[in-house]
Structure 1
Amino acid sequence: MAGQAPQDVLLSTVLTRYMAQHGGTIASKATASRAVDLWREWWPVTTTVAEVGIGQQEDFLGWLRGRGYSEGYARRVLGVGKSALNRAWKRGEIAQVPFVDLPPIGEAYPHYASREQVVRLLNTQMPEHLWALLLVRLCTGCRGDAAQDLQVFQIDRRANLVRLNPPGRQQTKKYRPVVPLLPALAAYIDQAKPSAYVVHWHGRRVASIKTTWRKVRKAALLPPWFVPKTIRHTVATWLRQRSVPAWEVSGLLGHHAGGTTDRYAKFDPAYLGEARKALQQIVEDLARDVPRLAELVGVNLGSVDATADNESSTETIGTHRFQVVGGTGFEPVTPTMSR
C-alpha cells in the first residue's frame, strides 16, 4: 500500500525491499548487504519505521563502536539505513521517515608503511592472485575493488594507460580514474597472460582476500594496522614526499572526477607526468631489494645515472616502449614513516 504511516511499516521490510530492488545495482553491494545485516542484528524485528529515533540511533552507533568498527565504517552502516528509508519515502511507499543523523566524517586513515615494511611484504611467499593485487595497487594507487575488478581490456597499451572504470560501469563517489600504465605492470601482464581478470583465481574474479591477507601479513611480521588499503595510503604519502603536485596525486587517487575538458587530458603525453615519474622511481627503488619486482622492471638499475634526476631513458617491455626516469631513492626513514 502506498503512503503508509511510519508506525505501520516494519524497518526490516524497508531494508529487505531496499536490497531486493536496489542493492544489487549499486557498486558497493557487498558493503550494503553487510550494513543491512548489522541493522537487523541490533534492531528488534518488531521495530517500526516510526521507532527509529535519534536516541535509538545513538545507541546503535555505540553498539557498532563497541564491536570495534571504525567511525568511517559506522557512518557507512548508518548511511545504508538512511538510504533505504529515504528511497522508500521518495517512492511514495511511506508517508514520512525519520531523520538519520550520520556521525561526522572521521580522520583520514593514519597509517602508511616504511620502505622496509613494503619490501618485507613483497618478498613474503604468497599466492599469485595476492601478488597480482599488490602489484596493481602499487603501480596505480587504486582501491582494492578497482584492482579486483581490473580486466585486460581496460589496459590501453597504445596510450600506456589503465582505465580503472570499465565501460558501462557508473562512476560513484569513489571515482575510478584513468591512470598511467607502468612498465612493471605491463611486463607482468605480458608474463602472466591473464585471460580476463588481472587479479584472478583460476580465471575468476577474486571476491575476498581477507584470510589470505592475514596469513601473509603475519608471515611478513607486519603490524595489525597494515591492511590492504595501507598500500594506497603509502603510495600517496610517498608521492607527496617526492613533491608530486597535489592535483596530480588527487587525480591518480580518484579524488578529482574532472569535467568535460579533463576527459581529453589523459591523451596528453604529460598526463600525470610527475606522478608517473615518481611511481616509476618508487617501483625501481623497491626492485633493488625485491627480486621478483626487479625481473618485471627489466632494466639494469645500476646503469641509471643517479646524478641526472631529470634525464630519462627509453625502456622496451615486450613490444612497448616507455620513458624510464632514473631513481633517486627514498628519503631517509623517519620515526613518522615507520608507524
Structure 2
Amino acid sequence: MWEYGGYWIGSANNTSKLYAYWYDKRTGATRRRTLGTEILSEAQEKLIELVGESRLDGSKSPSSVMIRVALDHYYENDAKNKPSADQAFRAIVLVNEYLSEKIVPMAAVSAFGPLRQKEFMLWCASKHSHTAGTIARNLAVVSAAFRFGRRLSVVRDGFGNEHEIQLLESAPDIVTQPKRVAELTSLAPSAPRDWLPSFQQLGQFIDAIDRRQENLFRFVILALNTWARPEAVLDFRPSVQVNREFGTLNLNPPGRRQTKKYRPTIRLTDNLTGWLDEWGEGAPMIWDGKPVTTMKRTFKRLAVDCGMDRFTQDTLRHFMATYVRRSKNPPVSQEQRDMWLGHDESRTANWYEHNDPDYLSEAMQATDNIIRDLQAYCSRSLFSCKGRAKAPLRAIKGGRDVA
C-alpha cells in the first residue's frame, strides 16, 4: 500500500486498522506492528516517526531525504545526549514550524538552499523577533544535522531494529555566522557578550542567594574556584576527581571522553579545600537524594531578580578569567591561564607536569586572592568554617555592615 525505509503499510485480518510490516532477515519471517489508526495519512506519519532516519533502501540524495528526517536522525542519535540538547530541540521545532508554514512538512534537504535559508531568517525575525545571533544558533543546529547525516552511524529504529545508516551523501552549506545573517536580513549585528559583573554586583548576587538555595551557593563557590563551565561544575565528584596528595583537581570525571571543550587538571585552591572538608566526598549539590543536573533556571531567576539579566552561569568563568588576567599579586602568565581554562590541552594532559609542586601555582594563588577580595563585597562568608580562621577580616564595602 505504502512503503518507507524497508517497511510498508497494510491491513490484516479483515480489520480497518493499519499495520507496519517488515521482513525480519534473522527469522526469515514477515513481522508486523499496529500503527494505531485507520487513516492512511496518520499511519504514514506514525511510520515515518518509528522508522525515523533509517531509510535502509532509500536514496542518500539530498533531493530524496526529508529535512525533518535529517533533524530527527541528528537529535535522536547525537544531540539529545549533549548539554545543548534543549537548544537543539527548540531549533528543530522551529524549523519544522517554518517548513509547515512556508514549504511543506516533507520538504527535502535539497530544498534548504541559500534562498530558503534567507527566507527562514526573515521569517524568524518577523514572526519570532529573533536576533541575528539567535537565528545563527538555530541554523547551526541544521548544519550539524546535515553533517551528522553524512556520517555512517548505527541507529535503532522505533521497532527495536539496529541499522547502519548514512543518511545523506551531500547537503547544502548552511549559514551559521551571525554577521552573515545580519547582512542577509538587514538585522542589527549581535552585540558581543562582553558584560561582566563588578565585584559589588557579584557580591550582591551572592548575598541574594537564600539559605534554602544551598545548591546554588555551592555552584557559585565551585565555579569561582575552578573557572569551569557549568556542565563540569555539575559533574564534579570530589571522591574521584580530587588528588589531595598532589593538590590537583581533574575536571574530567573518570570514564568521560574528552571533547573539544577540554576539561583540564587544575590545582586545588585553599578556598575549595576548606569547602570540600566541610561538604564531604559525595556530590556537592544534591536535590531529593540525587545529584543536581542543572542550575540554569535557578541561576537565571535570581540574576533577573537582582536586575542583572545578562548574568549567566558562564559569566562566572569569564569573571575569573578576566580578573586573573589583571592579577598583579601574583601575575599569572597567559600560558597558565590557558592551561587552567583547558585551552592548552597538550600541557594539561601531561601527568608528570600537573603533579609538579609549581604546576599552575600562580593561577591557584590568584584565584584564592580574588575570592578574598570578593569577600569584601559580600555579607555571606565565602570561606568554610575551617577557612574563616585563615581569611583576613575586612570591612564590607558598599554601605553594608561588617558581618
TM bucket (normalised to shorter chain) is: 0.7 to 0.9
2:311 corresponds in structure 1 to 226
Does 1:111 pair with 2:195? yes
Q: How does 1:206-285 map to 2 (within 5 A)?
A: 206-219=292-305, 221-242=306-327, 243-258=331-346, 262-285=350-373
8 Å CA contact 2:269, 2:365 repeated in 1: no
Does 1:41 pair with 2:97? yes
- Structure 1 residues 208 and 187: alpha-carbon distance in aligned structure 2, compared to 1, 3 A threshold: same
Q: CA deviation at 1:282?
A: 0.8
8 Å CA contact 2:265, 2:348 repeated in 1: no
Structure 1: segments with no counterpart, 5+ residues: 304-326, 328-332, 334-339
Whole-angstrom CA distance in 2 between matches of 1:73 and 1:16: 21
Does 1:120 pair with 2:194? no
RMSD: 3.0
Q: CA deviation at 1:48?
A: 1.3
Q: What letter matches 1:159 in structure 2?
A: F
Q: How does 1:80-229 map to 2 (within 5 A)?
A: 80-91=141-152, 92-103=166-177, 109-126=193-210, 127-152=213-238, 153-193=240-280, 195=282, 197-219=283-305, 221-229=306-314
Q: What letter matches 2:366 in structure 1?
A: A
Between the aligned residues of both structures, percent identity stands at 26
- Structure 1 residues 227 and 90: alpha-carbon distance in aligned structure 2, compared to 1, 3 A threshold: closer
Structure 2: segments with no counterpart, 5+ residues: 1-56, 153-165, 180-189, 399-403
Whole-angstrom CA distance in 1 between matches of 2:151 and 2:337: 38
8 Å CA contact 1:2, 1:94 repeated in 2: no
Does 1:298 pair with 2:358? no
Whole-angstrom CA distance in 1 between matches of 2:289 and 2:89: 26
8 Å CA contact 2:347, 2:353 repeated in 1: no
TM-score, reference length from structure 1: 0.79
Whole-angstrom CA distance in 2 between matches of 1:169 and 1:120: 36
Higher relative contact order (CA 8 A, sep 6+): 1
8 Å CA contact 2:136, 2:175 repeated in 1: no
8 Å CA contact 1:194, 1:203 repeated in 2: no
Does 1:20 pair with 2:76? yes
1:287 corresponds in structure 2 to 375
| Greater CA drift, 55-64 or 79-88 | 55-64
8 Å CA contact 1:27, 1:172 repeated in 2: no
TM-score, reference length from structure 2: 0.67
Larger radius of gyration: 2
Q: CA deviation at 1:111?
A: 1.0
Q: How many residue pairs were aligned?
A: 305
Post-superposition Cα deviations, 1:137-183, rounded to whole Å, max 9, x if no partner, equal: 01111111111111122122222222111122122222111111112
- Structure 1 residues 61 and 115: alpha-carbon distance in aligned structure 2, compared to 1, 3 A threshold: same
| DSSP 3-state at the match of 2:372 | helix
8 Å CA contact 1:5, 1:96 repeated in 2: yes
| DSSP 3-state at the match of 2:59 | coil
Whole-angstrom CA distance in 2 between matches of 1:161 and 1:224: 34
Does 1:32 pair with 2:88? yes
Post-superposition Cα deviations, 1:75-133, rounded to whole Å, max 9, x if no partner, equal: 44322222221222333433432112321587752011111111111222330110111
